[in-house]
Structure 1
Amino acid sequence: MHPASLVTDGKGAIWLNEVHCSGSESKLLNCAYNDDSTNCRHNEDVGIHCFLSCSTEDQGGLRISAGIAVNQGRLEINYKGEWGTICYKNFDNVEAEVACKQLGYCSGIMHPPRITHNGDGVVWLNDVTCSGSESRLLNCSFDINIEQCSHRDDVGVHCFLSCSPENEGGLRISAGIAVNQGRLEINYKGEWGTICYKNFDNVDAEVACKQLGYCSGIMHPPRITNNGDGVVWLNDVTCSGSESRLLNCSFDINIEQCSHHDDVGVHCFLSCSPENEGSLRIMSGFAVNQGRLDINYKGEWGTVCSRDFENVDAEVACKQLGYWYV
């Protein structure tokens, strides 16, 4: 039965009310009913969903649909001979792990409806609850009453390509203006992804840059970092500063509040030596003694912001460059 909330209102006569069958009848009209429908309205019209198959053979097959990769997207199940979606209620990482293992992956996590494309057709299962030991999702407990569900509640999964700790946690810098600055990405569960900006600061950037072979570095916020694509792996990264690898810091893999607009970047220093640091030069001017002021800092030439820079600051710079300042 499909409740009235899932059924398009009819029009014309409402014939039957208070239908009660034992289940042995060959026709609906052989069941008990009341033909007084004066208290019924078309917003109470009932619907049905007839099963294409009642065979248990091959029932419970899973697939991932409408995702950005074969291992992540909307989770669908074949039930009663028909593919349909699964409602988000009570579905968490334990259920996602069972589903991903059934699909042949080593493990996985749940993707909430907010980051899952809405399906169409039938919503099959609700309130799926697994212990984690099941070999198939259909062996978990579930409810087929989906009256409170819609395709806005469709759940997704992200199945891991690898669960091996070997080589996990490798870092790279992508989409930057130089090899030492850009979007920070991490290889986790066999797949490259980005890191969410929340609570990521210069201490975390220093750990990341040292892991990448630089002497230190600073964090670049999403505002000046090119958005990535694919998976966002880590959230709420917090390092003490003594870690040799970013994955040794504390972090959360719940990225429900993150998107690629929150991708963090780093600027790793080419040098941390104080020797020769702070050299100045004048560039892009119409004379050798006037133009843009550049400074060499952390082994790299860069500019100086004009905010709060005054004549007294210019005087210091000019004297350093060997000029008289009037």
Structure 2
Amino acid sequence: MIDSSRTTGWLISSDCVLSRSPLRDCATSDYTDQILKLTCSDSVRLLNGSSLCSGRLEVKSNQSWSSVCEADFDQQDAEVVCRELGCGPPSVLQGALYGEVEAPVWSKEFQCGGHESALLDCRSSGSAGNSCSPGKAVGLTCSEPVRLVGGASHCEGTLELKYLGEWRPVYDSLWSFKKAAVLCYYLDCGSAVSVTQRKESTWRSKWSISSDCVQPGILLRECAASHYNQFILNITCSDSVRLLNGSSLCSGRLEVKSNQSWSSVCEADFDQQDAEVVCREFGCGPPSVLQGALYGEVEAPVWSKEFQCGGHESALLDCRSSGSAGNSCSPGKAVGLTCSESDDVRLVGGPSRCAGTLELKHLREWRPMGYFHVSWTMKEAAVMCEHLDCGSAVSIEAAHSSYKAVWLIWSSCIVSKTPLRDCAISDHLDQILKLTCSDSVRLLNGSSLCSGRLEVKSNQSWSSVCEADFDQQDAEVVCRQLGCGPPLGLQGALYGEVEAPVWSKEFQCGGHESALLDCRSSGSARNSCSPGKAVGLTCSGRRGAAALMWFKITLFFY
């Protein structure tokens, strides 16, 4: 993508191109200052691969594509092809890895020195044959040129990608711990420790790469687009320990790296204090489970020393160790570790623990959560209120802040109830989140945020409310308390039946109170309800909807 003077062009979505629909069916006239420039290799291609940098090799000559026989191709030839295609060095060269020979067959043997810029620039000699045995077609996999620079080791620093012969920083605002973990593994580093989005003082060209592209088996260069901005990504991976095959970033089978090789750790050489150090090194909570083979069995080689951590060290390899009695483990004795990852979240600065600025403790640091337009809605607010054991969500708003850094969390992470630390990105925004939850009432299982089965909180416990102890005036108070409109329906068990415990008093609201627990009440004759008698309440839509919409539109243009 390059800048040009503004002109009329055809706008065609990438989905249309990938589906191979006729381009004219997707073309829309548009007025833009961005046009596309595309460069293809005119003489070599890789077919049927798992990425753009892998596949069965074919060479073009005299307007015809020919298969290449494995016997006529070696490692130096592979280096030239990978460079010509803008990929990293060859990682696998294996016959028929991506399909068998197809006629016609290239009739010469390549004799590259490895420094040439194109395969057809290499010297060649007549091949002894012009056909290949089945399974002898060149199958080539090139690596991807990705690196972290400017850090204390090759496992931390600014993320850069070499594409079209040029190293540039990579940027996309949606990168998260999960995405960083894929990259750390690719770089032969340990688990992901942090992801930071940083603003530079000057603008320069970057490779913009969607976070959706960061998955095992997909090359970053397949998604790279030229972009011009001030932001870069800094990623820190652990360079000496990692957890594999876990259900989250804070669990898995433990491996330790030494002398450029990863080793399994035997359960007999690892204890609770060692586990505390590993969990802290990854920025996770304390260890919750330490069990052999929980995430797979031992794989060779096996770490030959017993760890003797005090529990206070910042990294596992900082711990003292002694020679282990054995250098192998019985099957099922590999260290399987689960660190706790319950998110430390709080609301501060409000009138109660259920209202205020939303903060997350991550990497041992409390920071507010940043507000980014089109990211947070009442739906996300409701999930956070539930997480905080507060009532229903009442309001969400953005506030200006002078904080130096915030945690940026995307709404998709909240709704899916993914651990927030897996999605946290360090960022610099001047908008932070303020959230108000009801601290004493909530509506459950409703079709909207203003409907559901009513529960009341007292003494840190939630109780069902019996329909016989609740009337229309009580409902008016609850709907107002939750920031909703007047009650539309009040029907027992509309959103589920009574669950123990049951509220033991009858509400006697006048209808003007601001909160249900401000109402007078009297002792109820019962402490249980007949099935189907739980309060089911439906309030009309949220008050101030127009103001909220204006607020969101204003932020969007902001």
TM-score normalised over the length of structure 2: 0.25
Higher relative contact order (CA 8 A, sep 6+): 1
TM-score normalised over the length of structure 1: 0.39
As a proportion of its length, which structure holds more strand?
2
